Amino acid sequence: QVQLVESGGGLVQPGGSLRLSCAASGTIFKINAMGWYRQAPGKQRELVATILSGGMPNYANSMKGRFTISRDNAKNTVFLQMNSLKPEDTAVYYCNANVVGLTYWGQGTQVTVSS
């Protein structure tokens, strides 16, 4: 079993920044892709960004230039640096990890962008 715990969410004003973290623990041999998804009220969960174990990132088009995903393989942790936040970025952000073909999800962390 693999557990994912997100942290770093909160309330921020438009134009502000937040850094999310997600730490994986449990029986882990190797984590392949890790990523972030988000779900706003009344909307489907959508991709934010993913990153392979070798460091290759992939972003949803609307996130490019504002969000940066990174990971620390030694600590089984993935980060999401979010800059120039907008009210429409308000959502629950979920961490995701692919371990030996199985996909695991965290519980989510709330990000609210409001003045």
Strands (E), 1-115: 2-7, 10-12, 18-26, 31-39, 46-51, 57-59, 67-72, 77-82, 91-99, 102-105, 109-113
> 65-111, pLDDT tens digit by residue?
999 999 999 999 999 999 999 999 999 999 999 988 899 999 999 99
Residues of the chain above pLDDT 90, percent = 82
Q: What is the pLDDT of residue 54?
A: 86
Please answer whether residues 34 and 94 qualify as being in contact, where contact means their C-beta atoms are separated by less than 8 angstroms: no
pLDDT at 16 over 90: yes
Q: What is the pLDDT of residue 28?
A: 75
Q: What is the pLDDT of residue 30?
A: 82
pLDDT at 115 over 90: yes
